[in-house]
Structure 1
Amino acid sequence: MWAPCYFAFQSYGYSLHVVDGLSMQPTFNPTGEPVRDRVVVERWRVRALALLGQVGRYSRGDVVLLRAPDRPGEYIIKRLVALEGDWLYVPGRVDVEKIPKGHCWVEGDNVALSADSRTRYGPVPLSLVEGRARVVFWPPWRSGRVAAGEPIGRLLVRNPRAISRARDDCS
């Protein structure tokens, strides 16, 4: 009797997820200990706004849960760096990346150990994003809100031609 209610709550309300790996250090699993962070993911707002067709579902800097683009059935947690229509300069690349309509750019906070848009996926469809990580609830000494914020070293470009001109002037 409770199974349908539980499934609906997990799918459309809030869900609990374990954060594996070190790609989101120091936000999650900061010490690399065997105790893994567990987070509450808010799904209802993302799904409700999607049903209404509103684009303001996500903000740059949100930590999001998404289905892995290359591994069906698996979930990953990454930071949302850029949204559709943004131009993004990625250190180590020559070109400025334009995020296509219906896509976003996600990265792990630990750039050395993260498989993300920068290293593996490129722009990711927004339809893969399932919700926002809101609270760390385990381990108890790490419990608290998940802070949103833009990663250091990423530049959202307002005028991509200015970057190209500056790069040409330096050559």
Structure 2
Amino acid sequence: MTDKYSQIWRTVKKCFSLALVLFISVALSVTAPDTALAEDFGDLVFYEGNDCKQDIVFTYNSEASADDNCQTSGTGCYGDNDEARSLLITGFANPGTRIKVFDSTSADTTDDYTVIDILPDLPLEGTCVGTFEQTQQRSGYKVAHVHKDGLDGQVSHVTVQP
């Protein structure tokens, strides 16, 4: 019986996440996600512009592991290499999730990379990581950035660890 309720809760969270992002997209006059994104919509939403502006380029689900080379493989960022500059963490993302974004397609740590941890104090409305190039801690997330020559707009590999 517990599994049934867990499955229902996950479905409710995904529906609310999609509604939240659609609302934010309209409020910010940003292009709403296309049909392909809506089918596999996640609670980690990557944007083309800084501060969660411009187009949504890809999404991930905080409940599912991912390890994607954006140039050659993956289900999330594939085809959108060197596009992402910011991340909207919806209020339904799981605390404890770790997201890593890399300049290197092979997730090599000798180039720029950033580690984002979702904290238990994530606000219900979610929060925006406005840049991948700044170490910071805010309500809902913590970011550790290793800088070489710039990561915003250069994301080539994404990992998600629930």
TM over 0.5: no
More helix by share: 1
Task: Report which of the two structures shows the higher radius of gyration computed on alpha carbons.
Answer: 1
The normalised TM-score by structure 1 is 0.31
The normalised TM-score by structure 2 is 0.32
